[in-house]
Amino acid sequence: MEKVISHFDKHGKVFRDQLITVGDLIEFKDLLLSELKSILKDHVTGKTKKWLKAIEVRKVLNISHGKLQRLRDNGKIPFTMLGKVTYYDADKIEELMQSPMVIKY
């Protein structure tokens, strides 16, 4: 898709009545289909992001900011900080959810 967009960027402005060739449409179709296949493949295989931000973890675990902070402070949930942003390993969160243990916070 970026190729199509960059094609228009090189040639100047895009006008409403601009001519588009059949080749342009075929190229766009192929790019669109490949993007959709990639998205569907990731969805079917369950491929997710490697790192989650706090808001995403809170949604997954259905907990408040304070509870997540306590879990972090008590070492119950591993995390990594880059600057002021806290990241959580999605695989570790999934393991935590699959484990039969009860975590008190």
Instruction: Give residue 80's Cα distance to chain centre.
Output: 18
Using alpha carbons, select from 43, 62, 55 the residue that is nearest to residue 87. Answer: 55
Which band of pLDDT confidence, cut at 50, 70 and 90, is reported for residue 76? confident
What's residue 94's pLDDT? Answer: 83
Distance separating alpha carbons of residues 18 and 15, to the nearest angstrom: 5
Q: Beta-carbon neighbour count of residue 87 at 10 Å?
A: 17
pTM for this entry: 0.50
What's residue 103's pLDDT? Answer: 60
Determine the average pLDDT of the residues in 79-96.
Answer: 89
Distance separating alpha carbons of residues 28 and 18, to the nearest angstrom: 15
Which band of pLDDT confidence, cut at 50, 70 and 90, is reported for residue 2? low
